[in-house]
Amino acid sequence: MERKRAEGRPVLVVDSGDLFFSIGANGDSHKALNKARMISKAYGRMGAVAINVGDQDLLQGMDFLRQESSKGLPLISANLLDSSSKTPIFPPYLVKETSGVRIAFFGLLPPGLRPAIQNGVGEKALIKDPMQTAQEIVPKLHGRADLIVLLSDLGMEMDRVISRAVPGIHFILGGNERRLFTRSIQQGETYIFQSYEKGMYVGKLSLIIRNPASPFQDKLKPDQILREIGGMDSRIRTLQRDRDRQPQQNIDQAIQFIGQQKARLEEELRHARDYLASGNYFLWTMELMDMMIPEHQEIKEWIAEAGVEKD
């Protein structure tokens, strides 16, 4: 993050949840808490602006999360409520202004906690329905922010459902799937991303914003369309060879049909290229955190002093 910020562009660090603990992890609770505190300290050092509370973050109970929040860690959750007051335990959202653009982050975690997690939480907290929560909170954010980003611990299927049912969310950043998605998934004007697991990759969303009120386009869309057109050209050539060997009316019809599809894609390609020149666009990349990246000396000393085992 220091290296990225040194490039001179504004950088916002966020996390979609399940940052501190893991179901089925070996070791005693004392070691787990030590490691979680180290992760919290490191995220503070990185200057994270919003961290969603995931369901596995509740494994050790609420005390740890409350303590870290009181120290300034920017935990958020729109649907994790105090069971007695029915109000959010942490801020439901945060708005960060950068380069004159107001970006709102709100967080959601899934209902139906697993027994191991419920035992840690006890009766102190309850999970409000994430769909209802999103339907209530997104309209409130429209007047307070130019961009709305959901930090989601819900999983891809629920992310899709929410993006269809709740218009106005620009991006959904998730990690619950623990699968490697190198491209965005689009639902209407909402784009969904996943960043794999265990910090093995850093998902980087680069934004070019010319008009916050306009929708976004994937910078790689023209390349994707070109690949589709290339596939159609290859298919047409194959059909033409088949027709030359044995003329058939249905082959001519297939060539005509594919040609019509190609013409539509060529028109879409022109629009996509024009939009890149004048509209908002994004580029999503996954950066591998491999062993070639030098360790940060300060963090390395923290780990040694705390006796935390790296994994």
* 156 and 247 housed in the same domain: no
Does a structural domain hold residue 127?
A: yes
* 272 and 287 housed in the same domain: no
* 83 and 112 housed in the same domain: yes
Does a structural domain hold residue 311?
A: no
pLDDT of 46 higher than 60: yes
Kindly report, residue by residue over 186-242, the tens digit of the pLDDT.
998 999 998 887 778 889 999 999 998 899 999 999 999 999 999 999 999 999 988
pLDDT at 244: 82
Count of domains observed in the chain: 2
For the stretch 297-300, contacts whose Cβ atoms lie closer than 8 Å and that sit 24 or more positions apart, written own/partner, are 298/45, 299/42, 299/45
* 167 and 269 housed in the same domain: no
* 105 and 173 housed in the same domain: yes
Does a structural domain hold residue 289?
A: yes
pLDDT of 297 higher than 70: yes
* 133 and 265 housed in the same domain: no
Work out whether the CA dihedral 238, 242, 245, 249 comes out positive or negative. Answer: negative
* 128 and 232 housed in the same domain: no
Cα separation, 104 vs 307, whole angstroms: 37
Cβ atoms of 179 and 155 within 8 Å: the answer is no
Does a structural domain hold residue 202?
A: yes
Cα separation, 280 vs 288, whole angstroms: 26
pLDDT of 14 higher than 70: yes
Task: Give the residue carrying structure tokens 């879409």.
Answer: 268
pLDDT of 26 higher than 70: no
Work out whether the CA dihedral 71, 123, 29, 194 comes out positive or negative. Answer: negative
* 273 and 231 housed in the same domain: yes
Higher pLDDT, 148 or 112: 148
CATH of the domain at 162: 3.60.21.10
pLDDT of 179 higher than 80: no
* 139 and 81 housed in the same domain: yes
pLDDT band at 292 (very low <50, low <70, confident <90, very high): confident
pLDDT at 226: 96
pLDDT of 247 higher than 80: no
* 139 and 285 housed in the same domain: yes
* 33 and 81 housed in the same domain: yes
* 139 and 252 housed in the same domain: no
pLDDT of 15 higher than 90: yes
Q: Is 43 exposed, middle or buried (0-12, 13-18, 19+ CB in 10 A)?
A: buried
Does a structural domain hold residue 159?
A: yes
pLDDT at 213: 87
Does a structural domain hold residue 80?
A: yes
Q: Beta-carbon neighbour count of residue 303 at 10 Å?
A: 16
Does a structural domain hold residue 244?
A: yes
Q: What is the mean pLDDT of residues 32-60?
A: 91
**Three-state DSSP class for 145?**
coil
What residue numbers bound the domain in which 138 lies?
2-213+280-306
Determine what percent of the chain is predicted with pLDDT higher than 90.
62
pLDDT band at 24 (very low <50, low <70, confident <90, very high): low
